[in-house]
A and B are shown apart, each in its own frame.
Chain A
């Protein structure tokens, strides 16, 4: 049954991206929207970015209140969370995109960079799990 929810959720994510593109003319990339606020490069569209992020936070909050929360199964290892967060923050800004920008929005317009980035971060994620879970056993 999980795959059906995956598909439904995916359709909603894509619809969000479609609304953002056809409505505002922008590419819906989470790391770009957040990063532009952090480094000031998105100053001119600050309000739109904040309102977008408010939607991303608020709707799951409402859904989890009505239907019950999703268990995140997130590690409680603080150093690991800090290292992973740093890598994700630095990496997505260097690469100019993450799973939403390069993945969903990039690949759906057949962008070569979208496919390349997605292939590399999935491969890196797989290797990360291989090393840290199966070889070193730390996650």
Chain B
């Protein structure tokens, strides 16, 4: 059952990214580029996504566990640390440079051409070295 749910969730996520225009990097960069030809689409995507997701979080209060029997995630941490800020600065900078982030790069993989594959390869490489960087950060700045 978990596999069916995973595929269904992935499919809905992919369909949403595709139909919303989020695989079009011009729209993503257009949202970030307040000094250029500003494009508000991303706000509608984010706002639209928060509605069913917010309802789902509400529903978790009234259920003991997920359908699969797994416990729901614990309440979120409230610690805003260096990792969160620095990581988000790196991510945002790369996101702005080409207009791709981890979801849309996969949604566009079948039709986006070589550039999407190059970005994906570099992203995977980055994810591969990240644990080493995190390790160094935590040794330099113990929590």
Contacts and interface: CB of A to CB of B under 8 A. Distances in A.
Nearest to B108: A72
B87 A23 contact: no
Contact of A94 (B3, B34, B133): B133
B133 to A, nearest CB: 6
Contacts of A95: 83-88, 90-91
A10 B66 CA distance: 23
Given A6-B44, A121-B92, A35 B130 contact: yes
Given A23-B68, A86-B125, A15 B24 contact: no
A127 B67 CA distance: 42
B9 A94 contact: no
B21 to A, nearest CB: 6
A26 B72 CA distance: 7
A78 B95 CA distance: 15
A123 to B, nearest CB: 7
Interface residues of A, number: 109
Main secondary structure of the interface of B (DSSP, over half): helix
Main secondary structure of the interface of A (DSSP, over half): helix
A13 B51 CA distance: 10
A10 B93 contact: no
Nearest to A74: B115
A60 B23 contact: yes
B106 A125 contact: no
Given A9-B22, A52-B6, A132 B97 contact: yes
A20 B16 CA distance: 14
B48 interface: yes
Nearest to B48: A10
Contacts of A81: 98, 115, 118-119, 122
B98 A12 contact: no
Contacts of B134: 93-94
A128 B93 contact: yes
Contacts of B131: 39, 41, 93
A81 B126 CA distance: 12
9 contacts: A5-B19, A12-B19, A23-B8, A53-B10, A55-B14, A63-B19, A85-B94, A116-B80, A125-B32
